[in-house]
Amino acid sequence: MSVTVRVPAKVNVQLAVGAARPDGFHDLANVFLAVGLYDEVTVTEADELRVTCEGPDAAEVPLDRTNLAARAVLALAERHGRAPAVHVHIAKDIPVAGGMAGGSADGAGALVACDALWGTGASRDELLEICAGLGSDVPFSLVGGAALGTGRGERLTPLEVGGTFHWVFAVADGGLSTPAVYGEFDRLARGREIPGPVASADLLAALAKGDAHALAATLTNDLQPAALSLRPSLADTLAAGRAAGALAGLVSGSGPTTAFLVPDEETGARVAEALLASGTCRAARTAAAPAAGAAVV
Ligand code: C5P
């Protein structure tokens, strides 16, 4: 028996980052928006836990127990006193180490898939708690849509979205390590007073109205200077996307994927083509938002 779960990528339309906490994490006001790029996670009963991956960037995905999908299987199995005896297969379409929560998506997907395969019947709250233990972005991969994440990003409040937003994503060559980007944020912040992170009322209103122009005017990412410092060439990608007609562009999460909000699908196709032609990215993808969270297919 097998179960397949489809899980979306995310973009952060606002990522407000506070000062480093004693535990090394940063308090966030993190406005997540799920976008229609998906990984599919299939779990099948097997003799022992095994992870495989297919897709253009499959070679960059770790297949050992550092993979969040493997960790999700182990966490659910342990709680319910069963052997983690499944083959997890990931059909990967979300950029790897790209700031789009691809690894988190696989964690949430494996969790939902095993819950269904084993008939565990875990409550939504229990699943969310396991997700939060796996990583700060994993709970959002489970719920999808749009949400405000506080704490280290794992405490979610669902947000209203009043329309469809069209995006173009420029995939960079190679990934960026999230801890390295937060480390660079700390280095750049040294000696400065860092205000507590607060969600922007204007941004939440733009989301609720489904107003792309208003959202474009309010997009912010406090990790962007750190990502640009570690990968200065991203400035060229941002300039190329804006010149091609995007309403706004920003680094997605910790990067190095850059995200461009466009007014409609046609503009999106044109911006994607121009980004690719500019030679400032490895691939360009279009996607609509919001997308639903992890769901059995
Ligand atoms: O929670 P997650 O394992 O995804 O976090 C990866 C790393 O990103 C953490 O070890 C930490 O360095 C950084 N991080 C942070 N503050 C957050 C979320 C992540 O500093 N709110």
Instruction: Residue 110: give its domain's CATH number.
Output: 3.30.230.10
List, for residues 33-89, the tens digit of each pLDDT value.
Answer: 999 999 999 999 999 999 999 999 999 999 999 999 999 999 999 999 999 999 999
Distances (CA, A) of 195 to 92, 95, 125, 182, 267: 37, 32, 31, 16, 37
The residue annotated as part of the active site, out of 27, 106, 115, 137, is 137
Domain end point (choices 96, 130, 159): 159
Q: Are residues 112 and 69 in the same domain?
A: yes
Q: What is the pLDDT of residues 204-243, one digit of tens each?
A: 999 999 999 999 999 999 999 999 999 999 999 999 999 9
The residue among 159, 189, 208 that closes a domain is 159
Does some domain include residue 297? no
Which numbered atom of ligand 1 lies nearest the CA of 182? 20
Same-domain pairing of 145 and 7 = yes
Which residues 6+ apart lie within 8 Å of 102 measured at CB? Answer: 9, 39, 92, 94, 95, 96
Token digits for 38? Answer: 């998906």
**Residue 129 CA to ligand 1 centre (angstroms):** 17
Q: Which domain holds residue 71?
A: 2-159
Residue 76 sits in the same domain as residue 130:
yes
Judge whether residue 262 has pLDDT over 90.
yes
pLDDT at 112: 98
* 246 and 138 in a common domain: no
> Residue 204 is part of a domain; what is its CATH number?
3.30.70.890
- Tens digits of residue pLDDT in 97-139: 899 999 999 999 999 999 999 999 999 999 999 999 999 999 9
Beta strand extents in 107-247 (DSSP E only): 146-150, 155-158, 165-171, 220-221
| Residue 179 and residue 150 in one domain | no
What distance in angstroms lies between residue 136's CA and the mean position of ligand 1's atoms? 7
- 293 domain-assigned: no
Q: Which tokens sit at 55?
A: 């897709």
pTM of the model: 0.97
Domain shared by 155 and 169, yes or no: no
The pLDDT of residue 131: 98
Residues 148 and 35 reside in one and the same domain? yes
Domain total for the chain?
Answer: 2
Does 133 fall in a domain? yes
Domain assignment present for residue 150? The answer is: yes
Give the pLDDT score at 26.
98
What's the pLDDT band for 191 if we cut at 50, 70, 90?
very high
**Final residue in a domain of this structure, among 159, 180, 206:** 159
Find out whether 234 and 172 touch, Cβ atoms under 8 Å. yes
How close is the Cα of 243 to the center of ligand 1, in Å? 33
Same domain, 283 and 191: yes
Task: For residues 16-36, give the mean pLDDT.
Answer: 97
- Active site (annotated) includes residue 137: yes
**Tokens 């779990």 identify what position?**
43
Q: Is the peptide bond before 256 cis (omega within 30 degrees of 0)?
A: yes
The predicted model gives 163-171 an average pLDDT of 98
Q: From the candidates 10, 92, 93, 222, which is the catalytic residue?
A: 10
197 shares a domain with 148: no
Residue-level pLDDT at 292? 98
- Both 227 and 265 in a single domain? yes
Same domain, 237 and 155: no
**Cα 230 to middle of ligand 1, angstroms:** 17
Q: What is the pLDDT of residue 97?
A: 86
256 located within any domain: yes
Residue 290 has pLDDT above 90, yes or no: yes
Q: Residues with Cβ within 6 A of ligand 1?
A: 24-26, 28, 135-137, 152-153, 178-179, 182
